[in-house]
């Protein structure tokens, strides 16, 4: 074959000439010499004419628009550094300033005591289902789980591989519509920890206060993925709080763990290095390359929450949004129904069904035409679900309620 070995022959034998690179000096000239063009070459993104939707997704979920616009403005050149956050070394001074400020702002928001460590990890809250027993107990140790929904159940099942867990209360028989009274279940006397899911994303059940472990040496652990930073929390009541960021405080890819420092350092020998809290604590969440851009986005969200007046003010906004939506459901004379007991209804995730279930697909389709998306319920329970996290504006909930009333008027 006479063609160069660096050429490519297509099916019709047409030759594509081989690439002949220029000397590197010629490329450097383009980077360092002023352009001789009459107009400077620029790269621009066309302005979007697409209207943003009202996004009721359960996670990844909507982010505050001002946070997105801030990230957009800094995407190409972060604060004069000459590079994007996505290009930074995680050990460079620029990113260190980002992660340190994110931790500082989170500590301020939640008033995290100094005897707690804050870790920015990966793997989602689901990875913590294994990390917790591997770090906090031995294979034979008893631990207790209160199961108020699918995520509490998944946490329990994962713990079965690593310790001796017991479900001390389950809402499964009642389709996960309740939270137990705290004297309504018997804890294991020597349980190393008591685990709860503070807000069940799928079923819309939320703890309004928290149980106390019966064992004076035991600790309370909470998966707060879907209500993290939606309201003030007394961190000192917990041994560990963990949360996937992708619902309330950032994009997917970041998992936040808040852990009391005396619980760190007891991982079993078989614990994978990436699940060992001591490793991450000693290395300030920088043992390996962390999800840098995700942490940066979380930091922008924390800054935004502080600017709103902190979590007390954020909670007031969330209560108002939830009340409007739940009132619309309860006042619909049964056309819309929420199965969750009123006292434990989630401020974040509102599941509901239609009296005429055959209309649900039409409801979701028509809502989408009105730019309201991701209202379909989780595949395991059906119906509809509106996730109204911190970033959901009041106007978004008001538009949904107006649509619900109009839909009912046409189909009742």
C-alpha 320, offset from chain centre: 22
Q: Are 242 and 128 in contact (CB under 8 A)?
A: yes
33 classed as catalytic: no
Intra-chain end-to-end CA distance of the chain, in Å: 77
Catalytic residue among 192, 247, 321, 376: 247
327 classed as catalytic: no
Measured between alpha carbons, how far is 80 from 77 in angstroms, rounded to an integer? 6
Structure tokens at 174: 């009642």
Catalytic residue among 78, 105, 144, 151: 151
The beta strands (E) that lie in 174-233 are given as: 193-197, 199-200, 205-206, 219-223
Measured between alpha carbons, how far is 324 from 310 in angstroms, rounded to an integer? 22
Q: Which of 100, 74, 69 shows the shortest CA–CA distance to 85?
A: 74
124-136 vs 150-159: helix axis angle to the nearest 10?
A: 40
Count of Cβ atoms closer than 10 Å to residue 160 Cβ: 11
Measured between alpha carbons, how far is 146 from 131 in angstroms, rounded to an integer? 18
151 classed as catalytic: yes
Q: Are 111 and 310 in contact (CB under 8 A)?
A: no
Catalytic residue among 105, 144, 153, 223: 223
Q: DSSP string spanning 340-370?
A: S-GGGB-SSEEEEEESSGGGHHHHHHHHHHT
Active site residues: 151, 223, 247
């Amino acid at each position: 074959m006479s063609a160069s070995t660096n050429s490519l022959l297509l099916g019709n034998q047409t030759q594509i000439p081989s690439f002949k690179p220029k000397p590197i000096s010629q490329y450097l000239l383009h980077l360092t010499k002023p352009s001789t063009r009459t107009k400077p070459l620029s790269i621009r993104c066309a302005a979007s004419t697409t209207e943003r939707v009202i996004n009721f997704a359960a996670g990844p979920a909507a982010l505050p628009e001002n946070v997105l616009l801030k990230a957009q403005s800094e995407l190409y050149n972060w604060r004069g550094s000459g590079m994007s956050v996505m290009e930074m070394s995680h050990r460079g001074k620029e990113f260190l300033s980002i992660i340190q400020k994110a931790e500082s702002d989170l500590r301020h928001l939640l008033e995290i005591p100094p005897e707690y460590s804050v870790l920015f990890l990966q793997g989602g809250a689901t990875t913590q289902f294994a990390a917790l027993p591997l770090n906090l107990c031995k294979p034979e140790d008893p631990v207790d789980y209160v199961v108020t929904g699918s995520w509490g159940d998944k946490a329990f099942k994962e713990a079965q591989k690593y310790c001796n867990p017991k479900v001390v209360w389950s809402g499964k028989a009642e389709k996960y519509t309740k939270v137990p009274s705290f004297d309504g279940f018997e804890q294991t006397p020597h349980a190393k920890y008591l685990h709860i899911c503070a807000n069940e994303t799928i079923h819309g059940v939320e703890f309004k206060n928290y149980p106390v472990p019966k064992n004076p040496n035991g600790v309370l652990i909470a998966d707060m993925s879907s209500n993290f930073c939606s309201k003030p929390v007394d961190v000192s009541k917990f041994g560990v709080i963990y949360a996937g960021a992708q619902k309330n405080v950032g994009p997917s890819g970041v998992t936040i763990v808040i852990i009391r420092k005396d619980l760190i350092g007891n991982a079993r020998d078989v614990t994978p290095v990436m699940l060992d809290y001591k490793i991450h604590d000693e290395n300030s969440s920088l043992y390996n390359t962390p999800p840098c851009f995700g942490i940066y986005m979380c930091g922008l969200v924390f800054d935004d929450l502080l600017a709103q007046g902190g979590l007390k003010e954020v909670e007031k906004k969330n209560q108002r949004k939830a009340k409007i939506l739940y009132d619309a459901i309860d006042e619909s004379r049964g056309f819309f129904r929420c199965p969750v007991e009123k006292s434990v209804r989630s401020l974040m995730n509102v599941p509901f069904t239609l009296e005429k279930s055959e209309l649900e697909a039409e409801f979701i389709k028509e809502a989408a035409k009105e730019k309201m998306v991701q209202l379909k319920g989780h595949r395991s329970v059906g119906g509809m679900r509106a996730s109204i996290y911190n970033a959901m504006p009041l106007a978004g909930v008001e538009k949904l309620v107006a649509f619900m009333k109009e839909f009912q008027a046409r189909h009742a």
